[in-house]
Amino acid sequence: MKIPPVKGTRDFYPPIMAVRNTLTDGWKAASIRNGFEEYDGPIFEMLKMYQVKSGDEIVEQLFSLQDRGGRDLAIRPEITPTLARMVNQQINALPRPIKWFSVPRLCRAERPQKGRLREFFQWNIDIIGIEEVLADAEIIFCAVDYLRSVGLTDKDIVVRVSSRRMLAEVLKAIGIREDQLDPLYALLDKINKLPPEAFEEKLVELVSDSGQRDKIQALMQAQSIEAVAQVTTLTDAARSAVDELNRLFDTLNTMGISDYCIFDISIVRGLAYYTGVVFEIYDREKTLRAIGGGGRYDNLLKQFGGPEVTATGLGMGDCVLGILLEEKGLMKDLPTRNLDFFVACADAQYEAKAIEITAILRSAGKITNYSYKTGALGKQFKQASEQNASKTIIVGSEVENGQLAIKDMASGEQTLVDWANFVGQLG
């Protein structure tokens, strides 16, 4: 009986594993390049940790279980709560700012569809302890730095930026009460996903005053930060939030990535814990789901029993990113192996010597493989080529005189070397 894989998961055969490694290695390299330190946590956590962050409804969106002690656990659907828990545990010992990154394997009980699976990998970068928008700019820069490193340009991707703080303060200036904000955020987050008449209908349910509704509609049509300021008379708090967002764009310009970033008032981010700058990264044509997104979350550590500490971060999954890179032709023919040496044996009588040479090369840190069958060198050269070997060592009669033939697989040039000298130079 053949047992299929679980729906919404992937089997990582070597060619697919090569794509995964390319993505995750690139994420790690960009993180380290930008001054972040790596962390990780357990694959499962207490279920209540996710309920604290997202409410009881989150239970239906993740894989939960009970352990032998009857404790309610969940396989992690995200790692930000783990980050908050870990930081809170050592909050007084950790030097500020905290700049951490992780590439966790996550699981969510979702309906599988294009760009969304039940099991996936996600790049997370976070800066904790810096209030200035420079930290938000650093998060955005790091994301763009990675995306540029894999060949994507400002013609391919765009970072759509807004501010939950600015939105809240402008809405309050319009006359929206504090207790109306969270349900209104949830609706505004869907403005581009609902037909205009459906959006208006739901807006009427939340805001009874027609004048306020008109201003909200005008606000959500604003194409620039300046246009936001024209919607209503701004309070000092609203003006401060507008100025903060302007400073962010000035910093992004200084960093040289302004061509990648635009203001988009419709970026609200449905999760309630966002408190300031928010952003989402899309392909320019917006034919795919968001590649990544994030923003400032100044209250999360406090929600988990810690002090009130400012924080900002990003999450980027591998599914949508992989689709985009494939569509752009940036993930073609990735090698599953790259060898320093392939050891070919011309005659069965030298097989033991070929094995010995292979072991010596591997012990010296050289990526080495060899043919399990001796004989025709043409077939072995083909193997070496298929495995992306830089050089092939040919073990033949010359070995009796302490020599080996080494073939450069790129140029085809073949030379004899003294084996003892060669080993001595391996370092």
Residue 293 lies in a domain: yes
Asked if 260 and 134 sit in the same domain, the reply is yes
Asked if 310 and 400 sit in the same domain, the reply is no
Residue 3 lies in a domain: no
- Torsion angle defined by CA atoms of residues 282, 287, 289 and 290, in that order, rounded to the nearest 10 degrees: 0
Token pair of 27 as six digits: 């994420």
pLDDT at 53 over 80: no
Whether the CB-CB separation of 29 and 149 falls below 8 Å is answered with yes
**Residue 162's CATH number:** 3.30.930.10
Whether the CB-CB separation of 211 and 240 falls below 8 Å is answered with no
**Residue 358's CATH number:** 3.40.50.800
Residue 334 lies in a domain: no
The mean-pLDDT minimum among 55-59, 111-115, 209-213 falls in: 55-59
pLDDT at 342 over 90: yes
Asked if 237 and 294 sit in the same domain, the reply is yes
Give pLDDT tens digits for 146-195: 999 999 999 999 999 999 999 999 999 999 998 898 889 889 988 888 99
Domain count, the chain: 2
What average pLDDT does range 201-214 have in this prediction?
A: 91
pLDDT at 427 over 70: no
Asked if 160 and 282 sit in the same domain, the reply is yes
From CA 65, how far away is CA 109, in angstroms rounded?
A: 13
Instruction: Name the residue range of residue 363's domain.
Output: 339-424
Picking from 271, 304, 327, the residue at the C-terminal end of a domain is 327
342 conformational bin, left if phi > 0, alpha if psi -120 to 50, beta if neither: beta
In 196-263, DSSP assigns E strands to 261-263
What average pLDDT does range 70-77 have in this prediction?
A: 95
Residue 118 lies in a domain: yes
From CA 240, how far away is CA 233, in angstroms rounded?
A: 13
Residue 149 lies in a domain: yes
What DSSP element (H or E) covers 334?
none
Token pair of 159 as six digits: 């970072």
Whether the CB-CB separation of 404 and 398 falls below 8 Å is answered with yes
Asked if 299 and 367 sit in the same domain, the reply is no
Residue 272's pLDDT is what?
67
Residue 51 lies in a domain: no
Picking from 293, 327, 361, the residue at the C-terminal end of a domain is 327
Give pLDDT tens digits for 365-390: 999 999 888 878 999 999 999 999 99
Asked if 344 and 323 sit in the same domain, the reply is no
Residue 277 lies in a domain: yes
pLDDT at 56 over 80: no
Residue 260 lies in a domain: yes
